[in-house]
Each structure stands twice: as structure tokens, then as C-alpha cells.
Structure 1
Amino acid sequence: MILRQDEVVDDIVCRPAQPHELAAVAELRWQWVQELYGTPDTMLDGFVPRFVAWAQEAESSHRCMVAVRDEVVIGMAWLAITQRVPHPRTFERMSGDVQCTYVVPEERDRGLGGELIETVLAWARDLGLERVTVHSSDRAVSAYSRLGFEASPRLLQVEVGQGRAG
């Protein structure tokens, strides 16, 4: 079951987040960190308004796709868009990075995460992005692989930060 933007299947729709849903998206992000690392240092009531303000300010570079059932946000996936250095043949170039894909625990293992990613990839194609990358959890590697993501010997990374926030 593949959902397209604003298509309803089994009463779930995957579509771009609406401004009034950003608080719910912030709560999902907080819940995800709590699930992985324990209760965050920042309490939920302090995190939500800061996250909403960040999402509004970062709207041009970070776009959020949500999965919604009965007007309740049950999943999210972000597409971070980066301008690339111009090339003589293609001056305007952009790439994307899938970030913060999360589905509430009670909705997992039904393919909803894959549907969110498929919708994000359709969005990336519509935007004309050259490529989309992802830094996946071990649990999700097979799901990303099924959707066409491949390991690349040319895509390397180095951890330069002092801590890992997830």
C-alpha cells in the first residue's frame, strides 16, 4: 500500500505537515528521543515551542511530511534540502537528506515508515533534487534498501560533534 500526497488508504494520509501540526511533530521528536535515550534534559513543554519556532524558521530548507489518521499525527519524515555548488552544465543544483523518520510504536511494522519515505522521495523528485541520502538506524536499513537506497563507497562521513543527540 503506497500512499501519495493527500491520498487516503486505510484512513491514513501522508502529506506535508500543516503549520498547526508542528506542535504534534515536536512531540513526536521528543517522544523518539525519550524512547531511545531516556527522558530528555529539556522537558516537553519547553521543547515544543522552541521546535515549532525552529521549524517555521527552517521551512525553506527543512520540509516535514506527516502521516495522519483521524487528524492525529502518527508519523513524520523530514527532507533537508541543500544547495550544491554550481556546475557548468547545471548551475542550480540541490540534494536532499531524509531526517527524523519516526512512527509511533503502536503503528509500526505495517509499512507506514516506508510510505512516508516513498512520499518524501516523490516530493524530492518534484523539487528536482539530484540525490537523497539518509543516515539510517540499523532497524531501518532494509526498509530504505527496499525503496532504492544503496550504500555508496563514495559517500563518506566523519563525526565532528562532541555528542550524539539522535
Structure 2
Amino acid sequence: MSLPEGCALRVATPADAPALARFRAAMFSDMGAALEDGWELCWTAYFEAALTDGRYWALLAEVGGVPVACAGLMLFPIVPLPSDPSGLRAHVQGVYTVPEQRGRGLGEALTRAVLAEAQRRGLKSANLNAAIMGRQIYERMGFEETKYPEMRLNLGAWTA
């Protein structure tokens, strides 16, 4: 998939942590999720450290040198399989495009580029958590609903 005219992709650096934090906040706001107080400092610090030590890899799409979209890659350990001996799963995370640039294919281009990086690293599987806005794009790319949805537990409110 080619990029829209005037757009360029580049690998995010630790200096991009504030932009990634803002994009993450905007993504959650677009989904109607409330943001916890302190999100900006927390997420900026995370992205800066994670981009530095390699826990996180991200791409930015820019128009005129200004970031307008992003997508990230996190690697999670899994029990290896004969068909997937890497012991890692790619998790596509934080796909976001600013409203005025939506509908130009940036989210799909970024997601494809992140998946290509995961393949380059030898990973055999990828997952993501899809917002309603991106679900059709991900399905078109071959992502499928899992048979067993993830379940979560808030350990802060749980007692043994």
C-alpha cells in the first residue's frame, strides 16, 4: 500500500514520546474512555524509556514534518509452538490518525508497516485490540476475532 501524497513514514525516537502520549490520549478519548489524571507524564515517560530500551517500536506518519498518525509494536512472550518457535507474539498497539488526516489510508499503511517489521523479526503471529473505527481495516488485512475473548481482572479491587 502506498502512502498518500505528501506523507512520509519514519521510525519514532525517544524524542517522539510526548507525541505518542498525546496520540494515545486522543485515541482513548475518541473511544469515549476516561483518562486517568497523570496520563501525560506516565505515558511520556513510558514511551521514552521503552523506545530507548527496545520494548516498544513505533512508526510515525508525517505531513510537512508534523506527526499526524502512529502505530506501535510490542513483543510479548508466549510459549513456543513447533509452528511458531520464536516464543514471541507481535501486538499492534496505538494505531491513531488525527481527525483531519483520516480516510487517507494512513492507519492501514502504518499497521502494514508494523506487521512487516514483526515479520522481519521472525514473528509468526500478531494480535491487536480493535476500536470500532478500525475493525473493518483489520478484518480486510486478515485479522480474525478470537474464539475466546480476553478477560481482565482489576487486581487493585480483588481480594484473595
- TM-score, normalised by the number of residues in structure 2: 0.80
Q: For structure 2, which runs of at least 5 residues remain unmatched after alignment?
A: 156-160
Note the 1:110-129 alignment, pairs <5 A: 110-129=104-123
Q: 1:12 aligns with which of 2, 7, 12?
A: 7
AA in 1 matched with 2:22: E
Q: Which residue of 1 aligns with 2:73?
A: 79
**Is 13-22 or 28-37 further displaced after alignment?**
28-37
Give the percent of matched residue pairs that are identical in Structure 1 and Structure 2. Answer: 27
AA in 2 matched with 1:104: V
Cα distance, 1:36–1:141 mapped onto 2, change above 3 Å: closer
Q: CA deviation at 1:52?
A: 2.2
Note the 1:22-101 alignment, pairs <5 A: 22-37=17-32, 40-42=35-37, 47-59=39-51, 60-87=54-81, 92-101=86-95
**Is 95-104 or 77-86 further displaced after alignment?**
77-86
Q: Considering only aligned residues, what root-mean-square deviation do their CA atoms show, in Å?
A: 2.6
Q: Which residue of 2 aligns with 1:149?
A: 143
Separation in 1, partners of 2:111, 2:98: 15
Q: Which residue of 2 aligns with 1:160?
A: 153
Q: For structure 1, which runs of at least 5 residues remain unmatched after alignment?
A: 4-8
Q: Which residue of 1 aligns with 2:2?
A: 2
Separation in 1, partners of 2:34, 2:84: 46
Q: CA deviation at 1:61?
A: 2.4
Separation in 2, partners of 1:135, 1:50: 21
Q: Which residue of 2 aligns with 1:136?
A: 130
- TM-score, normalised by the number of residues in structure 1: 0.78
> Is the CA contact 1:14–1:115 (under 8 Å) kept in the aligned structure 2?
no
Cα distance, 1:141–1:55 mapped onto 2, change above 3 Å: same
Q: Which residue of 1 aligns with 2:16?
A: 21
Q: Which residue of 1 aligns with 2:158?
A: none
Q: CA deviation at 1:87?
A: 4.9
Q: CA deviation at 1:29?
A: 1.6
AA in 2 matched with 1:160: L
